[in-house]
Amino acid sequence: MIMTKRDLLITEVALRDGSHAVNHQFTLDQVVNVSKALDEANVPYIEVTHGDGLGGSSLQFGLSHTNDLELIEAAAATVKNAKISVLLLPGVGTKEELKQAAKLGAKMVRVATHVTEADVAPQHIALAKELGLETVGFLMMSHMAPVDKLVEQAKLMESYGADVVYAVDSAGALLPHEVKERIRAMKENLSVEIGFHAHNNLSLAMANSLAAIEEGATRIDGSIRCLGAGAGNTQTEVLVAVLDRLGINSGIDLYKIMDVAENIIAPILPKPQEITKDSLTLGYAGVYSSFLLHSQRAAERFNIDSRDILIELGKHKVVGGQEDMILDVAAELAKK
């Protein structure tokens, strides 16, 4: 299929970010079926890994049903036009795993760090470039840094060789004017493409994605049927419809992406993706969206309110990789 030039590129993250929502239990058949359908809908990038990236399957983050590398290989063998993307968090995923992912067919890697820790990424970005992968700097929890700090870290990602740099609203905590400030500053100070990744915990994923686009972002993440951590991400099929109304070409077939959402994704959701009291608290407290299920399990174990755990985690400014803190916080709250 010959694709026309797109005004904006969407990366579908349901098979990675959505891994959190299904407790990392995606099966090989599910990944193959979803990848095939997304490819047929003309989705340009499909991200496939454990929710915490390559090597994320662990007791701390949650054990995968199927090894990431098997899922990546199966997805890559299934698609005809789409490129398979992987996520890598330095310190979780290794360079060897990145090499294996590239060998198995991955075409893009997003190297993800906390918003103030870009300096842990240069060797992984350099390796990605050596492997011929499209390489993205992914600055997580971007609400936790002032605009000038975000720009500083984005410029580091660019200097290491990233082709694209993302501001990532991992907690779904940013408001539209805050997104605009961040994307505008990145656009003014970087020469590479700018991307934005939203979460819908405050029901602002679409508004924030549009705010990012207005300020010049040309890469936007979506999760079909909102299949992502917390309340999910910008809903892909809705985003495609909105972009079409705005005259922005995403290249994605609207009817086909609607059908994928309705007929393939909806049946595999453990429960409908909606803004619950806990996911709302994630955005309100500025807590990493993947902490949702961990906090709910801790609340049940200690017989306390999960919202209290999330609020306390927000006060402690706990970030991804500190999942062990959830039980510590719950235990302390239970003593009060």
Does 16 show up as a binding residue in the annotation?
A: yes
**pLDDT given for residue 85 in this prediction:** 98
CATH number of domain containing 301? 1.10.8.60
Answer whether residue 3 shows pLDDT above 50: no
Are 298 and 235 members of one domain? no
User: What pLDDT, in 10s, does the model give residues 86-112?
Assistant: 999 999 999 999 999 999 999 999 999
Are 322 and 198 members of one domain? no
Q: Considering the domain boundaries, does residue 273 fall inside one?
A: no
Residue span of the structural domain in which 326 resides: 290-335
Q: Considering the domain boundaries, does residue 324 fall inside one?
A: yes
**pLDDT given for residue 59 in this prediction:** 59
Q: What is the mean pLDDT of residues 303-328?
A: 85
Q: Which residue has the higher pLDDT, 153 or 291?
A: 153
Residues paired with 88 in a beta bridge = 111
Are 200 and 311 members of one domain? no
Backbone φ and ψ for 231, nearest 5 degrees, come out as -90, 15
Are 63 and 199 members of one domain? yes
**pLDDT given for residue 62 in this prediction:** 64
Does 114 show up as a binding residue in the annotation?
A: no
Please name the amino acid found at residue 42: N
Are 258 and 297 members of one domain? no
Q: What is the mean pLDDT of residues 172-176?
A: 97
**pLDDT given for residue 4 in this prediction:** 53
Q: What average pLDDT does the structure give for the chain? A: 93
Q: What is the mean pLDDT of residues 320-331?
A: 82
Are 36 and 106 members of one domain? yes
Are 264 and 314 members of one domain? no
Catalytic residues: 20
CATH number of domain containing 73? 3.20.20.70
Are 243 and 312 members of one domain? no
Q: Considering the domain boundaries, does residue 1 fall inside one?
A: no
Provide the domain count of the chain.
2
Answer whether residue 284 shows pLDDT above 60: yes
Are 262 and 324 members of one domain? no
Between 62-71, 81-90, 134-143, 153-162, the lowest mean confidence (pLDDT) is in 62-71
Answer whether residue 214 shows pLDDT above 50: yes
Q: Considering the domain boundaries, does residue 280 fall inside one?
A: no
pLDDT band at 270 (very low <50, low <70, confident <90, very high): confident
Does 6 show up as a binding residue in the annotation?
A: no
Does 17 show up as a binding residue in the annotation?
A: yes
Answer whether residue 255 shows pLDDT above 80: yes
pTM listed for this prediction = 0.92
Q: What is the mean pLDDT of residues 154-172?
A: 97
Are 120 and 184 members of one domain? yes
Answer whether residue 152 shows pLDDT above 60: yes
pLDDT band at 55 (very low <50, low <70, confident <90, very high): confident
Q: Considering the domain boundaries, does residue 104 fall inside one?
A: yes
Q: Which residue has the higher pLDDT, 289 or 107?
A: 107
Does 324 show up as a binding residue in the annotation?
A: no
Q: Considering the domain boundaries, does residue 279 fall inside one?
A: no
Between 238-242, 248-252, 268-272, the lowest mean confidence (pLDDT) is in 268-272
Q: Considering the domain boundaries, does residue 277 fall inside one?
A: no
Q: What is the mean pLDDT of residues 267-274?
A: 91
**pLDDT given for residue 2 in this prediction:** 35
Are 298 and 260 members of one domain? no
**pLDDT given for residue 323 in this prediction:** 77
Answer whether residue 306 shows pLDDT above 80: yes
Answer whether residue 234 shows pLDDT above 70: yes
Are 17 and 57 members of one domain? yes
Q: Considering the domain boundaries, does residue 316 fall inside one?
A: yes
Does 170 show up as a binding residue in the annotation?
A: yes
